[in-house]
Amino acid sequence: MQEMSSRATTEEPSTGLQTGWNGRVIGYVAILMLVNVMVDTVVTAPSFIIAQLKDAFQTTHFAWLDMSAMLAGAMWSPLLGKAADIHGKRRILVFTLLVAALGGIVCLIAPNLAVFVLGRALQGAAVASLFLTVALIRDVCASRFAMVVTGVVTSGSAAFGIVTPFVLQIATAAFGWRFVFVVAAGFAAVGALCVRLAIPNSAVRTPGRLDVAGALVLGGGLAGVLMYISLGQDLGWLGILPLAVLAAGVVALLVWFLVLSRAPEPVIDIRAITPTLGLGFLVVTMGTGAYRSMLSLFGLLVDVAPEDGLGYGIAGPAALGLMFGVPSFGITLGGILAGAVATRVGPAWPLAAGLVTGTTAALVMFVAGSGNLAIAAVCSFMLSLTAGSMVTSGFNLASLLTSPEKQGTISSVVMVMIAIGSVMMSFIGTAILNSTDMVVGGETVNSSLGVHTYIAVGGCAFVLAAIPMTLLIRRMRRSGVTGGPAVRG
């Protein structure tokens, strides 16, 4: 099968690569998990304080407050991925952590929404840290063992999320919403120090140059298209400014695709993305986007009590902890299981299992989740299983189909797909809620129609993702390359 890399079809030399658990590997994993705890804090923690942020900055655009870091991450990732392959993954990881720390400080002192979004954009560098930890794993672990370690590193950090909401609920009540960004900046700084002192430098390098212009054009194009979705909600879908932003984004993407992507060393070599890999990217984009949008919605549901009579809402004692804390165990469990299963049957099947779990959770939430905290918590747990499984499987699939010298670049593409899906679905959800809100007692609130439509759209994204998922499994079967026992480290 021509489209499969030699990494996926030949036995990998074991010299210098870790093939099992030992003290050194456990130390690496602990540090890389600390890095991903910081990533989780940057990406997820604002969901806990959406209501406070909306009040602090007097805005209805909660998607910008929550997802601006993911949007910036989509822009950062291609450049940082290519830089990691050229200059070394450890060096670039330390750089991203320091930039993320700076972003946390900017958010902490932000006097207005514009400065806050700038800080979130800097924090978006943390999003790149996730795929760099995966790429580093591939440098130190043999391929089969690396699948298991990837599951632990990408999702094991979520175990800290079991207690994080409870702690943040108490801390933000005492110190305000800014406490979240103190924690994020602190984690980033400590993570940078630990990585620099303890993680070995990358042994695999790819000679070349950075296509900075291509990265800026690609990132700007993505930002323009996604900004249109947000601006169109208030300024009108046919307004001059939104259409100008959309046009600029589309033109930038076309210029990158038609001209810059064909350069000798593009920031992302789309010619190297095989049909099989492309199908995997599509599944990850749709699945993780649906999960992230639901997580943002939960942040609003826990702020409304069932007795308010709005037809939705699950506020109550420990609601925040149940919706964001206990399900963190699901992310850890989903990721670790996905990595372990992938060593036997390949990453495509745990990816499919995550999709089925997410679809089921969205259906149950739509039918029976309104006003029922217990059912909503179960659905949140199932969606967390989906998140852990899909993220881990997405990285494992990309690594399986990619040569060692391109691990940083291709892992960055996975992160771009995750970011695009997350941002797109969250902005669509915001548009749905804003277009269906109502006034109760002189206050504008979300309607039951809007909330249920939001859930239905997320469920449809899961269902539609089943189409490329089916095609992906068929292609993997025909190729005879699964990533299971045939791939030995």
Selected residue with higher pLDDT from 338 and 434: 338
Most confident of 191-195, 303-307, 431-435: 191-195
CA separation for the pair 447, 453 (Å, rounded): 10
Residue 4 pLDDT greater than 60, yes or no: no
Per-residue pLDDT, 75: 77
Residue 160 pLDDT greater than 90, yes or no: no
| Confidence bin at 485 (pLDDT 50/70/90) | very low
Q: Which residues contact 209 (CB under 8 A, 6 or more apart)?
A: 86, 265
Residue 20 pLDDT greater than 50, yes or no: yes
21-210+267-479: which CATH topology?
Growth Hormone; Chain: A; (1.20.1250)
Selected residue with higher pLDDT from 456 and 419: 456
* DSSP 3-state of 1: coil
Of 168-177, 345-354, 430-439, the one with minimum mean pLDDT is 168-177
Per-residue pLDDT, 483: 52
Helices assigned H by DSSP within 49-204: 50-57, 62-87, 89-109, 113-123, 125-140, 143-156, 164-175, 179-198
* DSSP 3-state of 47: helix
Of 210, 364, 211, 222, give the one whose Cα is nearest residue 285: 222
Most confident of 142-151, 155-164, 450-459: 450-459
Most confident of 226-235, 400-409, 442-451: 442-451
Q: What is the pLDDT of residues 71-125, one digit of tens each?
A: 777 777 888 888 888 888 899 999 999 999 999 999 888 888 888 888 888 888 8
Residue 37 pLDDT greater than 70, yes or no: yes
Per-residue pLDDT, 65: 67
List the structure tokens of 154.
């990408």
Per-domain residue ranges for the chain? 21-210+267-479, 211-266
**pLDDT averaged over the chain?**
82
Of 30-39, 253-262, 355-364, 458-467, the one with minimum mean pLDDT is 30-39
CA separation for the pair 417, 9 (Å, rounded): 26
Of 6-20, 45-59, 130-144, 283-297, the one with minimum mean pLDDT is 6-20
| Confidence bin at 67 (pLDDT 50/70/90) | low
pTM over 0.85: no
Of 254-268, 299-313, 386-400, the one with minimum mean pLDDT is 299-313
SS3 sequence, 394-436? HHHHHHHCCCHHHHHHHHHHHHHHHHHHHHHHHHHHHHHHHHC
Of 40-54, 59-73, 84-98, the one with minimum mean pLDDT is 59-73
List the structure tokens of 101.
């720390």
Per-residue pLDDT, 286: 93
Selected residue with higher pLDDT from 7 and 23: 23
Q: Which residues contact 448 (CB under 8 A, 6 or more apart)?
A: 310, 311, 312, 370
